[in-house]
Amino acid sequence: MNNEKNLSSLKFINNRTGTNSYKWDKNENIKYSFGIADMDIALSDNIIKSINKKIDTGLFGYEYISENYYDTFINWVRNRHNIEIKKDWITVVDGVITGIKIAVQSFTKEGDGVLILNPYYHSYVDAIKNNNRRLVTSNLIYKNNNYEFNTKFFEKIILKENVKLFILNNPHNPTGKVWSEKELREIYKICSKHSVLIISDEVFGDFVVPRNSFVSFSSVCGSNGLSIIATSPCKTFNISGLKISNFIIKNYNIRREFRNQKNKNMSERANCLSLAISETVYKHGEFWLNSVITNSLINKKVVMDFFKEKYPDIQIVNSSVIYWTWINLTALSITEDVLHNLFLKHSIEVSYGSTFGNLGDGFIRVNLMCSVDNIKVFLSAFDEILKSYRKLRGNINDN
């Protein structure tokens, strides 16, 4: 995976404007986007060639989920993460957030408390509030450039707010926190004690380096445990527009209730193209993914070296997740509005901390899934932005 020769197989799309990309085209003033979590890297030719076999049939009618689909997903989880799952545990849903909404509807009622960790992924908030459930948050603790989990406060919040459901981001977005087995067992123990169902969203699990440092929640809960594991090929293989996910539910009663609610919602499981393409990438995408990870590791090092040399007071939060980097800018005492305007002058977009709740204030998340050339554009712009900002502050102070 560390062999840089792998990079020669990658096809970077350094400018995606004009492709109806939410990341690139939503704001016409943006020329370089490091925000939304999708990649500026195309799938490899051999994967596209395999996908084209389906396209070339010209047939896109109703299809059921094939045994091959289940087998390729089960093999991927086994080979990538050394986890054994059974076909019966898998429910295919048209997207992770769709599945989380189904779980919220299945296992809570209006007014019930649903818990997430702050900072948080904003789509969880939408899934909770749009279903008239109470948003409950428990704060991660930022300390020594890492994020820590306070088990005592977590349990107190569950009791105080009568929490029924906890949505865990594993690994955590945006902080990049990778949960240890000990922490996951503590979470499982507390939630089981108070009959709180856990949804573990593991869509970024394939981007933890080294690979064996990722611990799936499925490895700490038994077959009757109160847990749902959400996974998807969409982040892993940059096919988010296809809207497909695999929910792993060991507990029979939970699985039955989840599927019943899914049917009530008339939620589609996936379309014929998303099924075919997902099966293809699970079967043929490992070399491509390893190349993508190699590239991202290089990008991360370039970013870290830049800040260490030029701005040592700015901290890159420690993380083993290599999809993005979470940068602490609080030492600059710069407001988000000012920062946004300065980035906009350079036609650059990032993910701003306030998007992830109040504990994200003063941070930015920078997507590393692009060419190193684009990363250097970001760093050059950041350098100019800091010079402009410090000049502006100097003028204000002089007056």
State the DSSP string of 138-176. EE-EEETTEEE--HHHHHHHHHHHTEEEEEEESS-TTT-
**pTM (two decimals):** 0.94
Q: What tokens does 303 get?
A: 């970013």
- Domains in the chain with CATH codes: 4-44+286-386 (3.90.1150.10), 61-284 (3.40.640.10)
Q: What share of the chain is helix, strand, coil (3-state, %, to 5)?
A: 50, 15, 35
Grade residue 27 by pLDDT with cuts at 50, 70 and 90.
confident
State the DSSP string of 326-355. EEE-GGG---HHHHHHHHHHTTEEEEEGGG
Relative orientation angle of helices 67-81 and 272-284, to the nearest 10 degrees: 40
64-106 tens-digit pLDDT: 999 999 999 999 999 999 999 999 999 999 999 999 999 999 9
Residue with the bigger pLDDT between 393 and 3: it is 393
| Single-letter residue type at 99 | G
276-307 tens-digit pLDDT: 999 999 999 999 999 999 999 999 999 999 99
197-230 tens-digit pLDDT: 999 999 999 999 998 899 999 999 988 889 999 9
| Single-letter residue type at 28 | E
d(CA 249, CA 247): 6
Grade residue 4 by pLDDT with cuts at 50, 70 and 90.
low
Grade residue 2 by pLDDT with cuts at 50, 70 and 90.
very low
Whether the pLDDT of residue 384 is over 90: the answer is yes
d(CA 20, CA 265): 29
Q: What is the mean pLDDT of residues 320-337?
A: 96
Q: What tokens does 19 get?
A: 């492709």
The confidence score (pLDDT) of residue 308 equals 96
134-166 tens-digit pLDDT: 999 999 999 999 999 999 999 999 999 999 999
The confidence score (pLDDT) of residue 305 equals 97
